[in-house]
């Protein structure tokens, strides 16, 4: 539990005049569930997008699993082992659930144009493996029975699950989840929590942004708090909860 | 004669015409993200109607000074083009607002073909000469020649652009147009009649197009049923060059394109000893466009589209 | 079509037989059967082109308005290597290459053009890409028009004449061949040749559609950012679609040049690109049978109208009121508008696209619920 998996330091990101992230640094260790919280507009999603390659930071360092990922494209980041979901679900709406997960395996498969056209034994074997793994992943997140349904027709909760399955299909070392519980009822949230614990137990490290503070405190091993683009605290939930700067910035001046 | 100045003047004249047409493309694109492929044909119809009106008046033996005749013809052409623009939107685009993005592009192409063919049925397949009613004397400024007509084109184009800016920035209609282009859904919730705004956009753009059409016909002394195609293409290129959806961009893009074309075809021939002569004029528009877009994907004045998750 | 036929071999057999005997049926039923067969040959070329463009537009969702440029590249390449025009300066090994070598060469050269155009421009958003490809198409055409000076390469607006037909296994497709008591003339031979290429591209498209590459294309079309975030190298995968489409365009062009015997810049105007795009969209983007249908309608309708309009006009008015050429294009334009208004998804859409446009009521309710939730969630 002590190996550092991901390390960033001195990350700065500006949008025009807005300094969205200033000098942010953090480390995520192998096998933990790492939470990222902060008030609205604190820069959580910006940081999340930096960590998944969608935004190119202006300055800083970013290493993951021994690889330098500073200012690398999302597909390179995925290849290195970081997979993500989106806050406002971005599935391939007119593809089936199964196809969505199959797309997720793109980066871990190799069949090219000629393999596909000639349908070589190798290509066929790979295609079969992709299908099998996709089915297994749908079962893993609990929506095996919806495999042939178009992603757009799935219920909201199932869409969230499908996004997680699709991300897992890239064989990530780190799974980054952007508000996976948003819009969920308590029952769904509870199921999601179990799913995340299962994923972690299977050896995948998790980075999590969430608004549901109770959920975060109960689930995360360590938490970082962002406010106005700066990291104001980092530590185990208990520490963070009692940190006065956090209470002031995030939980409001008067703690319960 | 000073060649540079001469080419600059010619470029400015053509460029102001491009700019007027480009405004029509860019306004429509700004509001509904649609390439109004038929806009070039509106320009052509504007030119054709004006020529017909002038010829009719001349045929009836009406004694009026040339510019007045021209104005009368123009005043007949503008409503025709406006109505066409309005009708095209209602028939070919409005029913497809929620359709896949390419569907209205295909109807636009269909409308474009229909208008060309109708124009051919009415006006024939030959070039229509522009009646010689305008004074042809030439002013010499700093060694370059410029006609009254060219001066009038530039001045009128500038006036119209100024008027459009005023309309968009200062009036209620303009505010509603800007709101609709930002976010039609929200604009609707705020009480903007989006259908009305879209119609107005087409009508205004078409009016500008009709004027531009007459300018083209007068400047080149002729009009043709297929003339809308190339000029529309150039004007659209100009709009993209400036940053499509951006009014100022369309003006800048149009004028720049006119000048680049003019200077390019003028000098390239000299530089290469006539090998790469003015035949390559039409290439400049596209080469410049590609270069600009490669380095500034949103055009010269387009907003940089923020990277968004 | 192919789904139904896979399930029903009888239907497939009937269809195949029909396609095989079509040239003879046309010859038997119509007095001017040969001119009809010629029209059918060109329709097949358009099918080839439309299916090539379908890879770019239908699968990968890249709006290419200059597709005809690749057709032009293939056609001119064939013309230069297989006509007397450059024969004196061309090294002997390059002149009249064997058929297969020639086709591969056309595919590669056009594909390289595709990559050259695509690599700087594919990051552009949809409509910008459209206008850049359009510009590229015009540039190619203008060069063809003017590259007769200082060195005469393309012979300018006159174009290149006396292009030899293809030779396969020693048979010259430019001369009639007797077989089974039938006389296969050039138009017959080319019918089967182009048909074979159509079969090839249909096969390739179908294989690609259900592959890792095909899925990546659809994913990019659906949501490029998400596709990139799932590890797809969007740039390369788009470039691949572009190059493949271009290659097919190049092969079609080479066939066109060898069939027609001459090429000139006039065959490669922007309107041609637009027409091919119309075929794809009218028929149903991304759906192979739909695209074929679109190509047939767009290329044959004007020919049909040619034979219908004038007699009809004579019958009704008793004289020639309007130029039939105008009227035919007018009807054609109107048909395009009407088809799109009635079926925006195309005449024969893929299942995916139909679902996009005609969601079942249950789906609508679900979506409305979701968009409400989205609205509530959009806070960060």
Task: For residue range C277-288, list pLDDT tens digits in order.
Answer: 989 988 988 899
Whether the pLDDT of residue A69 is over 70: the answer is yes
Give the chains touching A; criterion: ≥3 Cβ pairs < 8 Å: B, C
Whether the pLDDT of residue C129 is over 90: the answer is no
Q: Are residues A178 and A76 in the same domain?
A: yes
* pLDDT at B282 (0 to 100): 76
The answer for C 317-336 residues in CB contact with B (under 8 A) is: 322-323, 326-327, 329-330, 332-336
Which one of A150, A171, A192 terminates a domain? Answer: A171
For C87, phi then psi, to 5°, come to: -55, -35
DSSP label at residue C157: G
**Between B206 and B237, where is the model more confident?**
B206
Radius of gyration, alpha carbons of chain A: 19
Structure tokens at C350: 């893929």
- Residue at B261 is within a domain: no
Give residue C184's pLDDT band: very low, low, confident or very high (50, 70, 90). Answer: confident
Q: Is the ipTM of this complex over 0.90?
A: yes
Q: Are residues A39 and A109 in the same domain?
A: no
**Can you tell me the distance from the alpha carbon of B293 to that of A119, in angstroms, rounded to the nearest whole number?**
39
* pLDDT at B1 (0 to 100): 54
pLDDT average, residue stretch C49-58: 94
* pLDDT at A123 (0 to 100): 94
Radius of gyration, alpha carbons of chain C: 23
Q: Does C115 touch chain B (CB under 8 A)?
A: no
- Residue at B65 is within a domain: yes
Q: Contact C264/C163 with Cβ under 8 angstroms?
A: no
Q: Does C364 touch chain B (CB under 8 A)?
A: no
**DSSP-derived 3-state class of residue A226:** strand
Which one of A171, A206, A238 terminates a domain? Answer: A171
* pLDDT at B136 (0 to 100): 79
Q: How many domains does chain C have?
A: 2
Give the chains touching C; criterion: ≥3 Cβ pairs < 8 Å: A, B
Please indicate whether, in this complex, the C-beta atoms of B309 and A15 are within 8 angstroms of each other: no
Q: What is the mean pLDDT of chain C?
A: 84
Please indicate whether, in this complex, the C-beta atoms of C379 and A40 are within 8 angstroms of each other: yes
Radius of gyration, alpha carbons of chain B: 20
Give residue C346's pLDDT band: very low, low, confident or very high (50, 70, 90). Answer: confident
Q: Which domain holds residue C201?
A: 33-286
**Distances in whole angstroms, Cα of residue B180 to Cα of each of B172, B208, B224, B246:** 12, 21, 36, 14
Q: Are residues A220 and A198 in the same domain?
A: yes
Which one of C233, C260, C286 terminates a domain? Answer: C286
Q: Does B282 touch chain C (CB under 8 A)?
A: yes
**Can you tell me the distance from the alpha carbon of A207 to that of A36, in angstroms, rounded to the nearest whole number?**
7
Listed range (A148-157, C10-19, C246-255) with the worst mean pLDDT: C10-19
Listed range (A130-139, A210-219, B43-52) with the worst mean pLDDT: A210-219
CA-nearest residue of chain B to C121? B294
- Residue at B35 is within a domain: yes
Give residue A90's pLDDT band: very low, low, confident or very high (50, 70, 90). Answer: very high
Structure tokens at C50: 């439309």
Whether the pLDDT of residue C119 is over 60: the answer is yes
Whether the pLDDT of residue A114 is over 60: the answer is yes
Which one of C266, C286, C306 terminates a domain? Answer: C286
Residue B129 burial (CB count, 10 A) = 12
Q: Which domain holds residue B65?
A: 17-228
Please indicate whether, in this complex, the C-beta atoms of C120 and B95 are within 8 angstroms of each other: no
Q: How many domains does chain B have?
A: 1
**Can you tell me the distance from the alpha carbon of A152 to that of C362, in angstroms, rounded to the nearest whole number?**
11
* pLDDT at B293 (0 to 100): 80
Q: Which domain holds residue A17?
A: 1-81+174-256
* pLDDT at B274 (0 to 100): 60
Q: Contact C56/C285 with Cβ under 8 angstroms?
A: no
DSSP label at residue B132: S
Q: Does C181 touch chain B (CB under 8 A)?
A: no
Q: Contact B246/B30 with Cβ under 8 angstroms?
A: yes
Listed range (A130-134, A197-201, B72-76, C300-304) with the worst mean pLDDT: C300-304
What's chain A's length in residues? 256
Q: Contact B298/B240 with Cβ under 8 angstroms?
A: no
Per-residue pLDDT tens digits for C188-236: 999 999 999 999 999 999 999 989 999 999 999 889 999 999 999 999 9
Q: Are residues C356 and C281 in the same domain?
A: no
Please indicate whether, in this complex, the C-beta atoms of C229 and A104 are within 8 angstroms of each other: no
Per-residue pLDDT tens digits for B130-173: 988 888 788 888 888 889 899 999 999 999 999 999 999 999 99
Q: Are residues A212 and A223 in the same domain?
A: yes
Q: How many domains does chain A have?
A: 2
Q: Are residues A103 and A225 in the same domain?
A: no
Residue A186 burial (CB count, 10 A) = 10
* pLDDT at C364 (0 to 100): 46
Q: Contact A111/A127 with Cβ under 8 angstroms?
A: yes
Query: How near does any CA of chain A get to the CA of B307, in Å?
Result: 7
* pLDDT at B306 (0 to 100): 37
Residues of chain A found within 8 Å of residue B309, distances taken between Cβ atoms: 45, 49, 54-55, 86-87
What's chain C's length in residues? 380
Q: Are residues A47 and A26 in the same domain?
A: yes
Q: Are residues A9 and A59 in the same domain?
A: yes
The answer for B 56-95 residues in CB contact with C (under 8 A) is: 91-92, 95
- Residue at B8 is within a domain: no
* pLDDT at B223 (0 to 100): 92
Nearest to B233 by CA among B126, B112, B152, B130: B112
Which one of A145, A171, A197 terminates a domain? Answer: A171
Please indicate whether, in this complex, the C-beta atoms of A107 and C232 are within 8 angstroms of each other: yes
- By the 10 Å C-beta count (0-12 exposed, 13-18 middle, 19+ buried), B171 is classed as exposed
Q: Are residues A46 and A149 in the same domain?
A: no
Which one of C269, C286, C303 terminates a domain? Answer: C286
Q: Are residues C224 and C88 in the same domain?
A: yes
* pLDDT at C304 (0 to 100): 82
Q: Are residues C364 and C244 in the same domain?
A: no
| % chain A with pLDDT above 90 | 71
């Amino acid at each position: 539990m002590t190996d550092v998996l991901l390390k960033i330091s001195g990350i700065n990101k500006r949008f025009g005049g807005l300094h969205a992230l200033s000098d942010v640094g953090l480390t995520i260790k192998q096998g933990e569930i790492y939470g990222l919280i902060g008030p609205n507009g604190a820069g959580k999603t910006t940081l999340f997008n930096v960590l998944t390659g969608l935004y190119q930071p202006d300055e800083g360092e970013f290493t993951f699993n021994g690889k330098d990922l500073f200012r690398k494209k999302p597909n390179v980041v995925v290849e290195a082992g970081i997979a993500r979901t989106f806050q406002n679900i971005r599935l391939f709406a007119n593809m089936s659930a199964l196809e969505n997960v199959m797309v997720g395996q793109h980066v871990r498969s190799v069949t090219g144009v000629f393999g596909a056209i000639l349908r070589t034994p190798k290509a066929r074997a790979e295609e079969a493996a992709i299908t099998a793994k996709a089915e297994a992943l749908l079962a893993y997140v609990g929506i095996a029975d919806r495999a042939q349904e178009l992603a757009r027709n799935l219920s909201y909760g199932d869409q969230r699950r499908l996004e997680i399955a699709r991300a897992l299909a890239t064989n990530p070392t780190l799974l980054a989840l952007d508000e996976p519980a948003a819009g969920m009822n308590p029952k769904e949230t509870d199921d999601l929590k179990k799913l995340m614990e299962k994923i972690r137990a299977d050896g995948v490290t998790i980075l999590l942004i969430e608004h549901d503070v109770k959920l975060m405190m109960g689930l995360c091993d360590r938490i970082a708090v962002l406010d106005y683009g700066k990291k104001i605290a980092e530590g185990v939930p208990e520490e963070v909860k009692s940190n006065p700067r956090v209470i002031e910035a995030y939980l409001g001046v008067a703690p319960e | 004669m000073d060649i540079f100045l001469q080419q600059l003047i010619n470029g400015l004249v053509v460029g102001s015409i491009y700019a007027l047409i480009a405004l029509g493309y860019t306004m429509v694109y700004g509001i509904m993200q649609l390439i109004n492929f038929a806009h070039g044909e509106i320009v052509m119809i504007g030119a054709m109607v004006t020529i017909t009106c002038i010829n009719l008046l001349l045929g009836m033996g009406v004694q009026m000074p040339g510019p007045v005749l021209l104005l009368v013809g123009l005043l007949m052409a503008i409503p025709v083009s406006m109505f066409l623009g309005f009708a095209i939107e209602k028939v070919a685009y409005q029913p497809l607002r929620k359709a896949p993005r390419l569907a209205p592009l295909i109807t636009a192409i269909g409308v474009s073909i229909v208008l060309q063919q109708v124009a051919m049925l009415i006006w024939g397949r030959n070039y229509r000469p522009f009646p010689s009613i305008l004074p042809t004397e030439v002013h010499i400024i700093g060694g370059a020649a410029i006609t009254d007509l060219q001066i009038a084109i530039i001045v009128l184009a500038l006036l119209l652009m100024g008027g459009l800016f005023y309309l968009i920035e200062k009036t209620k209609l303009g505010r509603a147009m800007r709101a609709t282009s930002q976010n039609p859904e929200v604009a609707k919730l705020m009480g903007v009649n989006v259908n009305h705004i879209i119609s107005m956009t087409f009508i205004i753009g078409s009016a500008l197009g009709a004027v531009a059409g007459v300018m083209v016909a007068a400047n080149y002394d002729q009009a043709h049923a297929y003339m809308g195609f190339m000029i529309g293409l150039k004007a659209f290129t100009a709009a993209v060059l400036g940053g499509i959806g951006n009014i100022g961009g369309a003006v800048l893009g149009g004028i720049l394109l006119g000048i680049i074309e003019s200077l390019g075809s003028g000098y390239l021939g000299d530089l290469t000893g006539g090998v790469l002569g003015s035949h390559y004029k039409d290439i400049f528009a596209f080469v410049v466009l590609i270069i600009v877009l490669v380095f500034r994907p949103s055009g010269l004045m387009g907003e940089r589209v923020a990277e968004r998750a | 079509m192919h789904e139904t036929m896979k399930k029903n071999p009888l239907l497939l057999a009937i269809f195949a037989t029909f396609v095989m005997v079509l040239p003879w049926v046309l010859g038997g039923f119509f007095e001017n059967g040969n001119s009809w067969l010629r029209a059918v040959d060109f329709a097949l070329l358009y099918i080839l082109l439309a299916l090539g463009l379908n890879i770019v537009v239908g699968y990968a969702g890249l709006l290419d308005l200059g597709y005809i440029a690749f057709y032009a590249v293939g056609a001119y390449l064939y013309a230069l290597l297989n006509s007397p025009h450059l024969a004196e300066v061309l090294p002997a090994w390059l002149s009249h290459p064997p058929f297969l070598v020639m086709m591969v060469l056309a595919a590669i050269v056009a594909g390289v053009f595709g990559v050259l155009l695509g690599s700087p421009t594919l990051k552009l958003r949809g409509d910008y890409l459209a206008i850049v490809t359009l510009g590229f198409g015009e540039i190619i055409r203008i060069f063809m028009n003017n590259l007769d000076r200082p060195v005469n390469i393309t012979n300018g607006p006159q174009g290149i004449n006396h292009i030899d037909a293809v030779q396969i296994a020693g048979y010259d497709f430019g001369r009639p061949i007797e077989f089974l008591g039938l006389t296969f003339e050039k138009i017959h031979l080319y019918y089967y040749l182009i048909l074979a290429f159509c079969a090839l591209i249909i096969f390739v498209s179908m294989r690609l559609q259900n592959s890792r590459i095909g899925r990546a294309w659809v994913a990019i079309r659906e949501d490029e950012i998400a596709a990139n975030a799932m590890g797809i190298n969007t740039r390369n995968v788009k470039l691949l679609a572009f190059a493949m489409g271009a290659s097919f365009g190049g092969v079609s062009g080479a066939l066109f040049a060898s069939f027609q015997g001459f090429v000139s810049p006039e065959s490669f105007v922007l309107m041609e690109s637009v027409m091919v795009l119309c075929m794809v969209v009218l028929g149903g983007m991304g759906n192979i049978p739909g695209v074929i249908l679109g190509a047939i309608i767009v290329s044959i309708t004007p020919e049909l109208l040619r034979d219908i309009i004038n007699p009809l006009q004579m019958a009704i008015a008793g004289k020639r009121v309007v130029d039939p050429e105008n009227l035919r294009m007018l009807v054609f334009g109107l048909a395009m508008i009407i088809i799109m208004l009635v079926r925006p998804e195309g005449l024969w859409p893929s299942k995916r696209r139909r679902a996009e446009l005609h969601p079942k009521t249950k789906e609508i309710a679900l979506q409305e619920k979701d968009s409400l939730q989205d609205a509530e969630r959009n806070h960060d």
